[in-house]
């Protein structure tokens, strides 16, 4: 039973590559699943973003900011004689 | 016994060997045959069956493009929503499972049973469209046979009614219905794709096989609108319309150099996020679709034609005595007898007699030709659905009455954007730059339609309109020199001109020394005490213009005005 070293080497190589194939298939599936999850997360975040955007635009609408500035903070537009123009 | 055993051992051994060998060979043959059967004979069938169990075609979602204002602020955004649908056939196989819907607020058991029973023979029926993902999850987690979901997109409009007419809206199927959503539908809408995947026992996607059709998301569109100015114009127009109990109104703000529309608002408006009880009259983008006779706001162009043809100079005098002029069977009237005045004063006082005399002194086709150069009678090409061409009659023979009427803005119809475009030509040294609703990089190539000197002269003449002696003192903007023209026209109703329905107009530009902005304000049918353009439209113009100039950091060109006072921008009721 003294096979040439080439044969022995190939036998080992086949075994190793067989293991590698199953490992890489497993890894590919795991990564695919992960990318799916990330895509779902993206969708979720997108919808969250658009909801926050809507909220943001409600709270930060110019009409509301102006009302708060005038009524609660007592701000007003400076009158003409209160402005000073600075020329560079 | 021992002997006997020894005797039989040898042949028995061989027989057993052969038997075992034969048995295993038969087994091997059977296995081989079975392998050939599975791998060769039945391969296609089995592979197909396997694929049916594992392979799925999944949609690749493609969302609609975002519409933004010039600074990138979102005006229309798509957000994913979940639509629940049922397969009645599947559902009817397991009616006992429906009770799990009991107490569910998203899809009630009663509702579900009714929909499924009514469409028994179908395989698709909508249960609930456009749900928030969390709400849909409540139902999907119940795992009721026959209930499925699909992801769709819903449009939200953060700016609401402020940008309603410009942006428009989509229907439930995500197709553009109005405004930019409709005009740019091809660019905005995406094409959803399909891909083939392998799913495992738990329904997880474990392998992407191939993309059958790539998803093409819609393009984003950046408008020329500046949301800050849009809001400002909206607020001021709303104020003016309410104060004067007007039926409607429009305001258009244009960047003179680039032709970009910075703001375009109308009254009445609507909330695109909640179109439940929508009045269809509110849908119109009046600034683009509605036509009116421009009245006195047309006079600068009559004068421009006269100046350009070398007939007159700004100081040429013209006799408007006695304040009336009989042309054919019609009498043209001024407010009062202005006597002998120069051309500048014709504009300052808005003399109908003055412009009529100018028009009658021109060749028959000269005035219509000039008006056409300013873009009247032709759509501006801002790519907005339903844009009106306006009406500039083409005649081979112009009667004197018609030419005189044209000179002070009757007998032709324009839209607010056309008027804005024409004033932008005056403001831009006579160069006509095409108006656009899309953001422009750099300064587009324009067309010189009026001499530079003439345009400058006209701006100077129009400055007098907002002076103390002019018709539109209320259009003044503190700190800036404004130039513009008022207009008050009788509305056209069935059978002629209405006696007491008017349109109040103001079209103007600022700063007059180096014009940057043109603003047009149209107040339709003010039913309060005032109806003159100088009283209803000019104050709104002043408020919009002062806000726009301040927001865009345009340096004041009349700094002495800072101390001299002027109309107080706070003073509006």
Of the given ranges (B24-38, B202-216, B557-571), which has the lowest mean pLDDT?
A: B557-571
B511 with B559: CB under 8 angstroms?
A: no
The percent of residues above 90 in pLDDT, for chain B, comes to 42
What integer is the mean pLDDT of B360-371?
A: 90
* Residue B564 pLDDT grade (very low, low, confident, very high; cuts 50, 70, 90): very low
In 3D space, the residue among B415, B423, B451, B421 whose CA is nearest the CA of residue B434 turns out to be B421
- Whether the per-residue pLDDT at B5 is higher than 70: the answer is no
Residues of A with CB under 8 A from a CB of B: 28-29, 32-33, 36, 43-44, 46-47, 49-51, 53-54, 56-57, 61-63, 66, 76-77, 79-81, 83-85, 87
- What is the pLDDT at residue B569? 46
pLDDT for B456:
93
B→A interface, C-beta within 8 Å: 61, 63, 74, 77-81, 132-133, 151, 156, 158-160, 162, 200, 204-208, 227-228, 231-232, 235, 478-479, 555-556, 559, 561-566, 568-570
Contact A47 B79 (CB under 8 A): yes
Rounded to an integer, the average pLDDT of B425-444 is 91
* B53-73 pLDDT, tens digit each: 778 787 777 788 889 999 988
> What is the rounded distance in angstroms from the CA atom of residue B247 to the CA atom of residue B87?
50
Cβ separation B158–A80 shorter than 8 A: no
As a whole number of angstroms, the distance between CA B317 and CA B22 comes to 130
Q: Is the pLDDT of residue B85 over 90?
A: no
Residue recorded with tokens 């656009």: B436
Chain B residues with CB inside 8 Å of A63's CB?
Answer: 231, 235
SS (H, E, C) B487-504: EEEEEEECCEEEEEEEEE
Q: How close is the nearest chain B Cα to the Cα of A37, in Å?
A: 9
- Interchain pair A47, B132: CB under 8 A: yes
Model confidence pLDDT, tens digit, residues B275-310: 877 788 888 899 999 999 999 999 999 999 999 998
Q: What mean pLDDT do residues A2-10 have? A: 86
CA distance A77 to chain B (A): 7
Strand pairing class (B74-86; B67-68):
antiparallel
Q: What are the backbone dihedrals phi and psi of residue B8, each rounded to the nearest 5 degrees, phi first?
A: -85, -15
| Mean of pLDDT over chain B | 86
| Distance from the first to the final alpha carbon of chain B | 132
What is the three-class DSSP state of B519? Answer: strand
Residue B62 near residue B78, CB atoms below 8 Å:
no
Q: Out of A3-12, A64-73, B269-278, B286-295, which region has the weakest mean confidence (pLDDT)?
A: B269-278
**Contact (CB<8Å) A46/B207:** no
Does the distance separating the beta carbons of B206 and A32 come in below 8 Å? yes
Show the CA angle centred on residue B362, arms to residues B409 and B452, nearest 5°.
75
Burial class (CB in 10 A: 0-12, 13-18, 19+), A8: exposed
Q: How far apart are CA B426 and CA B275, in angstroms?
A: 40
pLDDT for B508: 95
Region B33-60: what's the mean pLDDT? 85
What stretches of B171-226 show up as alpha helix (H) in DSSP? Answer: 179-183, 185-188
Q: With an 8 Å Cβ cutoff, are A81 and B159 in contact?
A: no
Cβ atoms of B426 and B450 closer than 8 Å: yes
Residues of A in contact with B77 (CB under 8 A): 50, 53
Mean pLDDT of B424-442: 92
Q: pTM for the whole thing? A: 0.80
pLDDT of residue B111: 82
Residue located via tokens 């708060």: A68
The pLDDT value given to residue B565: 42
Question: Mean pLDDT across chain A, nearest whole number?
Answer: 86
Predicted pLDDT at B7: 52
Which residues lie below 8 Å from residue B141, measured CB to CB, with a gap of 6+?
none
Asked if B296 is an active-site residue, the reply is yes
CB contact under 8 A, B156 and A54: yes
Helices (H), B177-291: 179-183, 185-188, 227-243, 286-289
In this predicted structure, the answer to whether residue B381 has a pLDDT above a threshold of 70 is yes
Residues B2 and A72: their CA atoms lie apart, in Å, by 120
What average pLDDT does the segment B20-27 reach? Answer: 96
Q: Which of A21-25, A50-54, B388-392, B569-573 has the lowest mean pLDDT?
A: B569-573
* pLDDT for residue B47: 86
Model confidence pLDDT, tens digit, residues B162-174 = 999 999 999 888 8
pLDDT at B203: 67
What distance in Å separates the CA atoms of residue B454 and residue B407, rounded to the nearest whole number? 18
Q: What is the pLDDT of residues A12-55, one digit of tens each?
A: 999 999 999 999 999 988 888 888 889 888 878 887 888 888 78
B481-493 pLDDT, tens per residue? 999 999 999 888 7
Report how far residue B549's alpha carbon sits from residue B515's, in angstroms, rounded to the nearest whole number: 11
Which 3 state secondary structure label does DSSP give B304? helix
Q: How many CB pairs under 8 A join A and B?
A: 82
pLDDT-based confidence at B259, cuts 50/70/90? very high
**Does the pLDDT at position B538 exceed 90?**
yes
Query: How does B472-499 read in b/e, with b if 16+ C-beta sit within 10 Å?
Result: bbbbbbbbbbbbbbbbbbbbbeeeeeee
Q: Inform me whether the pLDDT recorded for B572 exceeds 50.
A: no
Per-residue model confidence as pLDDT tens digits over B223-248? 999 999 999 999 999 999 999 999 99
Buried b / exposed e across B25-56, counting CB within 10 Å, b at 16+?
eeeeeeeeeeeeeeeeeeeeeeeeeeeeeeee
* Residue B6: per-residue pLDDT: 53
Residue with tokens 């305001």: B251
pLDDT attached to residue B487: 92
- Give the model confidence (pLDDT) of B179-213 as tens digits: 999 999 998 988 888 888 887 777 677 777 778 88
Q: What percent of chain B has pLDDT over 70?
A: 95
**Residue of B498, B528, B524 lying closest to B292 (CA atoms):** B524
pLDDT at B467 over 60: yes
What domains appear along chain B, each with residue ranges and CATH number?
58-222 (3.90.1310.10), 227-270+286-564 (3.40.710.10)
> Looking at beta carbons, which pairs linking B89-94 to residues 24 or more positions away fall under 8 Å?
B89/B120, B89/B121, B89/B122, B89/B123, B89/B146, B90/B145, B90/B146, B91/B116, B91/B144, B91/B145, B91/B146, B91/B147, B92/B116, B92/B117, B92/B120, B92/B146, B93/B145, B93/B146, B94/B144, B94/B145, B94/B146
């Amino acid at each position: 039973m003294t096979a040439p070293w080439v044969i022995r080497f190939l036998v080992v190589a086949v075994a190793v590559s067989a293991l590698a194939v199953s490992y890489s298939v497993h890894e590919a599936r795991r990564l695919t699943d992960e990318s799916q999850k990330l895509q779902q997360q993206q969708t979720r975040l997108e919808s969250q973003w658009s909801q926050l955007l809507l909220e943001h635009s409600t709270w930060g609408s110019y009409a509301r900011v102006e009302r708060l500035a005038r009524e609660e903070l007592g701000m007003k537009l400076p009158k003409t004689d209160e402005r000073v123009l600075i020329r560079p | 016994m021992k002997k006997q055993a020894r005797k039989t051992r040898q042949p028995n051994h061989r027989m057993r060997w052969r038997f075992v060998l034969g048995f295993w060979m038969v087994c091997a043959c059977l296995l081989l045959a079975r392998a050939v059967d599975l791998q060769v004979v039945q391969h296609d069938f089995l592979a197909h069956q396997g694929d049916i169990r594992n392979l799925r075609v999944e949609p690749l979602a493609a969302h609609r493009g975002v519409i933004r204002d010039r600074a990138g602020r979102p005006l229309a955004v798509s957000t994913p929503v979940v639509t629940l649908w049922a397969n009645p056939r599947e559902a009817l196989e397991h009616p006992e499972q429906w009770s799990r819907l009991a107490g569910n607020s998203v899809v009630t058991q009663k509702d579900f049973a009714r929909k499924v029973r009514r469409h028994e023979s179908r395989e698709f029926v909508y249960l609930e469209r456009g749900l928030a993902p969390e709400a849909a999850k409540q139902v999907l987690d119940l795992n009721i046979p026959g209930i499925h979901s699909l992801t769709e997109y819903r449009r939200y409009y953060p700016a609401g009614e402020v940008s309603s007419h410009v942006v428009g809206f989509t229907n439930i199927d995500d197709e553009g219905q109005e405004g930019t959503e409709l005009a740019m539908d091809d660019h905005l809408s995406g094409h959803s794709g399909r891909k083939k995947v392998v799913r495992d026992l738990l329904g997880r996607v474990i392998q992407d096989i191939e993309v059958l059709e790539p998803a093409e998301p819609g393009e984003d569109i950046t408008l020329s609108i500046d949301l800050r100015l849009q809001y400002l114009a909206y607020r001021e127009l709303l104020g003016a319309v309410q104060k004067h109990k007007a039926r409607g109104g429009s305001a258009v703000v244009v960047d003179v150099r680039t032709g970009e529309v910075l703001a375009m608002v109308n009254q009445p408006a609507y909330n695109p996020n909640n179109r439940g009880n929508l009045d269809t009259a509110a849908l119109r983008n009046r600034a683009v679709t509605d036509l009116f006779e421009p009245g006195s706001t047309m006079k600068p162009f009559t004068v421009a034609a006269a100046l350009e043809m070398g007939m007159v100079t700004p100081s040429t005098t013209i006799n408007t005595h006695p304040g009336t002029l009989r042309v054919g069977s019609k009498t043209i009237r001024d407010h009062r007898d202005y006597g002998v005045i120069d051309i500048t004063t014709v504009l300052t006082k808005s003399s109908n007699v003055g412009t009529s005399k100018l028009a009658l002194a021109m060749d028959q086709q000269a005035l219509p030709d000039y008006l056409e150069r300013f873009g009247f009678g032709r759509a501006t090409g801002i790519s907005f659905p339903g844009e009106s061409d306006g009406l500039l009659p083409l005649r081979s023979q112009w009667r004197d009455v018609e030419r005189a009427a044209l000179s002070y803005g009757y007998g032709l119809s324009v839209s607010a954007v056309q008027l804005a475009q024409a004033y932008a030509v005056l403001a831009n040294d006579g160069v006509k730059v095409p108006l656009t609703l899309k953001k422009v990089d750099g300064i587009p190539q324009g067309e010189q339609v009026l001499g530079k000197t003439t345009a400058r002269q006209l701006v100077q003449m129009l400055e007098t309109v907002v002076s103390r002696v002019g018709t539109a003192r209320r259009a003044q903007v503190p700190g800036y020199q404004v130039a513009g023209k008022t207009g008050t026209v009788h509305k056209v109703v069935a059978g002629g001109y209405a006696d007491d329905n008017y349109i109040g107009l103001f079209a103007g530009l600022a700063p007059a020394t180096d014009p940057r902005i043109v603003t047009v304000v149209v107040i339709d049918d003010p039913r309060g005490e005032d109806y003159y353009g100088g009283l209803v439209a000019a104050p709104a113009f002043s408020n919009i213009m002062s806000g726009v100039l301040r927001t865009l950091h345009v340096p004041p060109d009349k700094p002495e005005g800072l101390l001299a006072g002027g109309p107080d921008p706070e003073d509006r009721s």
